[in-house]
Amino acid sequence: MKFSLFIFCFISALNYAPAQNRTIEVCAKDCEFSSIQKAVNQAQANDSIFIQKGIYKEHNIFINKKSLHLYGEEGSVIDSEYKGYGFKVEATDFSITDLTIKNIEVSYTSDYAAIYLFRCFDFKLKNITLRNAFFGFLIEKSRNGFVLQNDISGTGDSEASSGNAIHLWDSKEIEVRDNHVYNMRDGIYIEFGSNNIFDNNDSHDNMRYGLHFMFSNDNRYSNNSFRNNSAGVAVMFSKRIVMYNNVFKKNWGTASYGLLLKEINDAEIYNNTFEDNTVGITTDGSTRITYRENDFINNGYAVIFIGGSYQNNFIKNNFLYNNFDLSYSGGLNDNSFDNNFWSDYTGYDLDKDGYGDVPYRPVKLFSYLVNNTPESIILLRSLFIDIINFSEKVTPIFTPENLTDQNPLMRKVQW
């Protein structure tokens, strides 16, 4: 009994402790502070700083090893006036929420960001609006953070003069959710980062990639939408990336993809939609990847294989109305295609088991022609090409013998 009383007192004491932390107010006049930097300098650890409505012309606001919670309200705007960073933070257990930051300096040689985090742990960046950002959030050597519900856009002038909206460098265990990023170089970029989660973000009209992984293992991204980027997502030199429930749409252009895989392995790609892209997926030197229950709709090419891509499995995908389902350079392979639905399949199912009785060959002879002579694309939809493709179907010479779907589905996969 005595012991539980002690516990009770102890817990109540814990609960009362934070009440001693102050909330410091910052506003244009009649407040304790009119400058955010001065408020930060005066604050004690665990204090909150409330930034009232108004425009604050400040830059390089430095939070050095202090656990603070900065928050604003609608109309709290920090204008950096194109001078350096917005915030520079090196701290543990802190948050910045409900603010607008605008006009970040553009530079070729320095990565100025609206909020720059270095060695930060247990942090939260939420509900922040960035306008005319060069880099949005630049997060280096940090862990255990949340980046939630932010709206980030750049000037969208040219690719070289814009930075990335959310840039993680050498950072781990960070959740990036519900963000809206557009008119930047890359929407979200991860270099040397592991165990991060990217969920439900909307990344569009970016000049390079919607989402970009470099040298980053064990990450996952899901429920995101990538539209109108020069390329939807690029996953490069990374292992064990899980990708599901994403939509890759309208990534058009001569050098454009829905998804680019370069030198990656052991990935899982399922329940994604690739629609209206020049190329749905380009896979270059990527091995042991499972593609399951994806929709490839109305793309120029659904999937292009270049370089050595081995031991990839395509199971239960829908290939619907693509100009080419597959393009393949290189000879023999040990990639497998099984139980997919192909809208171009013209076979029959006499025994009514749901699977076509003749195998489907996803590579058309014409795609070889286009590979070697891109100009020949002008012949697409001509009778001549139909005849060539038909003759190849009857007596396959060019397509590798084992590159067939032995059990093509007669109905679309429902997933």
Partner 1 sequence: MNKYIILTFIFISITACDKSAKPINYGEDQCDFCSMGIVQKTHAAQLVTEKGKQHKFDAIECMVNFVKDKSGKFNNATLLVVNYNQPGKMILAESASYLISKNLPSPMGAYLTAFASVSDAEAAQEKLKGEIYQWDNLKKVIKKDIHKIH
Chain residues 132-161 in contact with partner 1, contact rule CB under 8 A:
158-160
Residue 299 CA to residue 317 CA, distance in Å, equals: 14
The residue from 43, 120, 130, 231 that contacts partner 1 (CB under 8 A) is 231
Compute the distance between CA of residue 322 and CA of residue 204 in angstroms, rounded to an integer: 23
Task: Return the range that interacts with partner 1 (CB under 8 A); candidates 11-19, 35-43, 66-74, 203-211.
Answer: 203-211
CB of 230 to partner 1, least distance (A): 6
State whether residue 48 is helix, strand or coil: strand
- Residue at 290: amino acid letter: T
**Distance (Å, rounded) from C-alpha 271 to C-alpha 273?**
7
- Candidates 88-96, 112-120, 184-192, 266-274; binding stretch for partner 1 (CB under 8 A): 184-192
Is residue 214 close enough to count as binding partner 1 by CB under 8 A?
A: yes
Other beta carbons within 10 angstroms of residue 402's beta carbon come to 12
Choosing from 59, 66, 88, 185, the residue that interacts with partner 1 (CB under 8 A) is 185
The DSSP-derived string for 236-256 is ES-BS-EEES-EEE---STT-
**Number of shown-chain residues binding partner 1 (CB under 8 A):** 24
Residue 236 in the binding site for partner 1 (CB under 8 A) = yes
* Contact of 181 with 156, CB cutoff 8 Å: no
Task: Output 256 or 294, the one with its CB closest to partner 1.
Answer: 256
Nearer to partner 1, 172 or 185 (CB): 185
Q: To the nearest whole angstrom, how small is the minimum distance from the Cβ of residue 159 to partner 1?
A: 3
**Among the residues of 136-284, which ranges form H helices?**
none
- Under the criterion CB under 8 A, does residue 266 sit at the interface with partner 1? no
Task: For residue 118, state whether it binds partner 1 (rule: CB under 8 A).
Answer: no
Toward partner 1, which CB reaches closer, 75 or 253? Answer: 253
Look at the chain and count its residues: 415
262 makes contact with partner 1 (CB under 8 A) = yes
Note whether 297 and 320 are within 8 A (CB). Answer: yes
Our CA angle for 392, 396, 402, nearest 5°, is: 135
Which structure tokens are listed for 120? Answer: 């930060």
Pick the stretch among 29-37, 91-99, 209-217, 399-407 that binds partner 1 (CB under 8 A).
209-217
Cβ-based burial of 384 (10 A; exposed 0-12, middle 13-18, buried ≥19): exposed
Residue indicated by tokens 């939609």: 273
User: Nearest 5°: phi and psi at 5?
Assistant: -60, -45
**Least distance (Å) from partner 1 to the CB of residue 255?**
5
Please report whether residue 284 would count as binding partner 1 according to CB under 8 A. yes
Sequence-separated (6 or more) residues with CB below 8 Å from residue 293:
270, 271, 315, 316, 317, 413, 415
Question: Interacting stretch for partner 1, rule CB under 8 A, among 70-78, 196-204, 231-239, 325-333?
Answer: 231-239
Q: Residue 284 CB, nearest distance to partner 1 (Å)?
A: 7
Question: Is residue 405 at the binding interface for partner 1, with CB under 8 A as the rule?
Answer: no
User: Where along the sequence are the contacts to partner 1 (CB under 8 A)?
Assistant: 108-109, 158-160, 169, 185, 191-192, 207-209, 214-215, 230-231, 234, 236-237, 255, 260, 262, 282, 284
